[in-house]
Amino acid sequence: MSAAVQHTLAASATLEGTSLHTGEKVTLTLNPAPEGHGFKFRRIDLPDQPFIAADVDKVQTVERATTLAEGSVKVHTVEHVISALTGMGVDNALIEMDANEPPIGDGSSRPFVEMIKKVGIVPQNAIRKIWEIREPIHLETGDGTLITIVPSKTFKVSVTNVGPDGRFTQYFSSEITPETYEKEVCAARTFVYYEDVKPLLEKGLIKGGSLESAVVIRGEEIMSKEALRYPNEFARHKALDLIGDLMLAGIKFSGHVIAVKPGHGPNTKMAATLKAEYAKMRSMVPDAVRIPDGESVLDINEVLKILPHRYPFLMVDRIVDCLGDNKCTGMKNVTINEPYFQGHFPGHPIMPGVLQLEAMAQVSSVLMLRKPENVGKIGYFMSADNVKWRRPVLPGDTIFIETEIIKVRGSIGQTRCRCLVNGEVVSEAELKFALMDR
C-alpha cells in the first residue's frame, strides 16, 4: 500500500452487534468515501439521516468513551472504529449506523479491522497529507496525565497505563503501521474497574456490558471470559483509544506520542491542541492566494539550512508545501527594495525573468535535497528547456513557485516548474541539474 496517496475502502462492509450503554441491537456499515472526505458518521435511523463529522469540535462528553454531537444528534463510543480505520491506513470512510453507538463486540477494535480486511483498501488520486511535527507539543492535567508529542519521521505511540492506587501499571510502545496495528494493538480489549462501574450497573446504564465485551478488574482480580491476550493488554488498549481520539484532530501526522495515564478527556484535549497548532502552521501561508493542501511549512531559517544561497541571490522566502516525494511549492515576496530594481528598468520595475528561473531552480533543489540520500549535497544547473515568460512580475507581487520531479537518473535530476502570481502562470520551464557533494 502506497503511503503517498489517500486510501478508502474497496467496498462496503457491515457488522451487527450490541451497543455497550443501551444494550440495543445495532448495524454498522463502513462505506467508501471520496478523497478529502475524512471520517463521518451517519445516523440512518433518524429523519434526514444526519451526518456528524469525526471532528474534535464535535466532542460533547468524554466520560468512559468519546461522544460526538451535532445539535441533538449524538454518536457514542466512536474511538474504536476511528482507531481501526486510522491504524489500517484508511483516510476516507462514511460510517453508517441505525443506532447512536457502534457494536461493542469483544471490547476491542479487531471486529472493525476484520471488516476492513474483508473488503480491502484501494488507493485514491489525492496526495495523503501527513503533518510532520517539528516542535514538541505537551499537555499535562492535574490528575497526573501527561501527553507529549515529539518529532519523529514515523507515527509512534508509547503508553504507560496507571490504574487506581498504581494497580496494573503497564507499558507499551510501537510504531503504528497497518501491520503493527493489526498484530499488536487491535485485539486489546476495553477494561474497567469494578468500583467505577458498580454504580452504573446498579442504575442499568451499561445494559450491553458483559465479561464478553470487557475485562473487569476487581481489586487485584482480573475477571474475563478468556485469559489476557497480552501481558500488557491494558496499556495496548489505551494506545488503541489514543489513536482513535487523536484522529479527531482531522490530520494525520508523523510524531512520537508519549502518554502517561491517558484517557478520553486528555486525549481529546490533545486532539484540539493538534488541530489548533496545525491551523497555526498553515496560517504561515498567506490567505490571499489559494495554496494546494500539503505537509509542513519551512520558514526562512529552515530554508537557509538547506540552500547555500544568500542575499541578494536567495530567491525563496518560504516553502509552503511538500506533497509526497515529488512536488514542492515555494514562495517569494517581491518588494521594491529588491537590489535588481536599481538597474533593471528603474522607471518601470519588473523582476528579471532569469531570476524567476533561479527561483525555480532553488525550489527544485529543496525538493531534491529533502531526500535522505541527498542530504549535504548541492545542486548545479545543467540546462533549462521550454522556458516561457508569460507576464511581468511587479513589486508587491507574491510568487508561488511550483516544482515537480519528472525524472531522476543517478545524480541527475529533471524538474518541471512554473511561477504563479494570483493563480496565473507568469513563467515556466523544465530544468536539469546535477547533485554534487559540497
- Rg (alpha carbons) of the chain, rounded to whole number: 26
Do 195 and 146 share a domain, yes or no?
yes
From 7, 21, 76, 264, the catalytic residue: 264
pLDDT tens sequence across 146-205: 999 999 999 999 999 998 888 889 999 999 999 999 999 999 999 887 776 665 555 554
Do 277 and 306 share a domain, yes or no?
no
Q: Which CATH number fits the domain that encloses residue 344?
A: 3.10.129.10
pLDDT tens sequence across 299-349: 888 888 888 889 999 999 999 888 777 899 999 999 999 999 988 888 899
How many helices (H) and strands (E) in the chain? Answer: 8, 25
Indicate whether 260 belongs to any domain: yes
What does DSSP assign to residue 298?
Answer: B
Indicate whether 354 belongs to any domain: yes
- What span, in angstroms and rounded, lies between the C-alpha atoms of 122 and 59? 30
pLDDT tens sequence across 249-294: 999 999 999 999 999 999 999 999 999 999 888 877 654 444 444 4
User: Is 76 tagged catalytic?
Assistant: no
Do 270 and 180 share a domain, yes or no?
yes
DSSP assignment string, 75-140:
E---HHHHHHHHHTT--BEEEEESSSS---TTSSSHHHHHHHHHH-EEEEEEEPPEEE--S-EEEE
Do 250 and 310 share a domain, yes or no?
no
Crossing angle of the two packed helices 79-87 and 233-246, in degrees rounded to 10: 90
Do 348 and 209 share a domain, yes or no?
no
Q: Which CATH number fits the domain that encloses residue 257?
A: 3.30.230.20
Please give the residue range of the domain that contains residue 359: 300-437
Indicate whether 70 belongs to any domain: yes
- What span, in angstroms and rounded, lies between the C-alpha atoms of 316 and 71? 46
User: Is 256 tagged catalytic?
Assistant: no
Indicate whether 60 belongs to any domain: yes
Indicate whether 294 belongs to any domain: no
Indicate whether 291 belongs to any domain: no
Do 100 and 245 share a domain, yes or no?
yes
Do 306 and 264 share a domain, yes or no?
no
Global pTM value: 0.76
